[in-house]
Amino acid sequence: MNIQYLKKKLSEFPRVKLMWGPTPIVYAENISKDLGINLYIKRDDLTGLALGGNKTRKLEFIMGKAVEQKYDTVITAGALHSNHALQTAAAAKKLGMDAVLVLRGKEENKGNYFMDKIIDADTRVFNVKTSKELRVFMDDIKRELATKGKKPLVIPVGGSDSVGALGYINAAIEINEQLKELNLELDYVVSATSSGGTQAGTTLGYKILAPSTKILNIGVGDPREELLSDVYNLIEETQDMLGIQERLIEKKEVDLNTIDGYGFGGYGTIVREVVDLIRYVAKLEGFYLDPVYTGKAFYGLMDLVRKKVIPQDSNVLFIHTGGLGGLFQYDDVISELLKF
Ligand SMILES: Cc1ncc(COP(=O)(O)O)c(C=O)c1O
């Protein structure tokens, strides 16, 4: 199996163009000097849809399926300020479909929720603790819309199904081609993981294209066992979709490459260490991380370098998966922590 096989297979799936083109890989010169590694950033925060982020890649395939199968509405779910929900609404509107966002939390008109409102998404907010609990509400809304003659597609939380994972197989191909031009081989690829689709896609893509590169997925406070089984199942389903018979990835490998310890008290908990790090990165390199996903994952990357799990002089690629709306959702907490 090789890049040609993957490219051919991917071309068999319906896809819509939601990105500007390949996102840049940039060398983070100042942080590299500071850490003693060669750090590159894959700027998937610059995908170009709404505020950008990893969901754009998944949605190219998910919405491709929606268009091909003539759905007229998409329903998805997440936390009130879900990056995925905003991206889905933006993709749907651009393609002339309706978007229903099934969200959890307390309504507050800022951050991504504010952006959802600007784009005129149909938002429905429920008082439940986890996004998985929103599934029943999505199913109810699907029935309600079907009785009105609509054809709604339910997209899972985070766009993390096997169709969505194809987006990160495609990202692995894109990165591979960019690295060839840069004449660069990576020792590590690091990114945040939460609903598992990005991890499943990159893990599988890299296993096929560059098996000696280690893929480290930093958890951001979600329950570990659930994440591991979701990722493993997604990898299996995605392999099946790509017609790959041989099992390429063992459960043990998923377990080893899923790194805990940087959730800082749980998903969505905003802490001083991460906010300080967001400032450090912004000051040294001129780009921003978010406090929920990329800030925690980047903290993990730096800590793994400090602990020498990632050795000095390694070539490391950090995938910036977006999430910048989070800075505006938590503006008050961040201002208080940074004392301004
Ligand atoms: C900004 C950002 N980074 C990373 C992730 C994690 O990606 P995944 O849900 O595919 O694990 C998410 C998704 O929730 C996200 O919004």
- The proportion of the chain whose per-residue pLDDT surpasses 90, expressed as a percent, equals 99
* pLDDT per position as a tens digit, 200-250: 999 999 999 999 999 999 999 999 999 999 999 999 999 999 999 999 999
Q: In what order do the strands lie in the sheet with 122-126?
A: 122-126, 98-104, 73-79, 152-154
Spacing, Cα 148 to ligand 1 middle (Å): 33
Check if 293 has its Cβ closer than 6 Å to any atom of ligand 1. yes
pLDDT of residue 29 exceeding 90: yes
At 213, which amino acid appears?
Answer: T
Check if 131 has its Cβ closer than 6 Å to any atom of ligand 1. no
The ligand 1 atom nearest the CA atom of 201: 10
* pLDDT per position as a tens digit, 57-111: 999 999 999 999 999 999 999 999 999 999 999 999 999 999 999 999 999 999 9
Spacing, Cα 150 to ligand 1 middle (Å): 29
The ligand 1 atom nearest the CA atom of 160: 10
Cα–Cα distance for residue pair 38/337, rounded to 1 Å: 30
The ligand 1 atom nearest the CA atom of 198: 10
**Once rounded to an integer, what is the mean pLDDT over residues 149-173?**
98
Spacing, Cα 82 to ligand 1 middle (Å): 9
Q: Output the residue whose Cα is nearest ligand 1's atom 1.
A: 323
Question: 175 pLDDT band (50/70/90 cuts)?
Answer: very high
pLDDT of residue 132: 92
Residues 6+ apart with CB under 8 A from 267: 194, 220, 221, 222, 292
Spacing, Cα 185 to ligand 1 middle (Å): 25
Check if 105 has its Cβ closer than 6 Å to any atom of ligand 1. no
Spacing, Cα 198 to ligand 1 middle (Å): 7
* pLDDT per position as a tens digit, 34-58: 999 999 999 999 999 999 999 999 9
pLDDT of residue 337 exceeding 80: yes
Domains and CATH numbers, the chain: 3-53+160-338 (3.40.50.1100), 55-159 (3.40.50.1100)
pLDDT of residue 164: 98
Check if 156 has its Cβ closer than 6 Å to any atom of ligand 1. no
Question: 1 pLDDT band (50/70/90 cuts)?
Answer: confident
Pocket perturbation via mutation, ligand 1, pick of 293, 301, 328 by most ligand atoms within 8 A of CB: 293
Q: Output the residue whose Cα is nearest ligand 1's atom 3.
A: 321
Spacing, Cα 218 to ligand 1 middle (Å): 11
Check if 217 has its Cβ closer than 6 Å to any atom of ligand 1. no
pLDDT of residue 105: 96
Q: Output the residue whose Cα is nearest ligand 1's atom 9.
A: 195
The model carries a pTM of 0.98
Active site residues: 82
- The proportion of the chain whose per-residue pLDDT surpasses 70, expressed as a percent, equals 100
User: First and final CA of the chain: distance in angstroms?
Assistant: 54
Cα–Cα distance for residue pair 29/260, rounded to 1 Å: 27
pLDDT of residue 329 exceeding 80: yes
Which residue, chain included where needed, has tokens 């982020």?
53
Check if 232 has its Cβ closer than 6 Å to any atom of ligand 1. no
Phi-psi region of 266 (alpha: psi -120 to 50; beta: other; left: phi over 0): left
**Once rounded to an integer, what is the mean pLDDT over residues 261-282?**
97
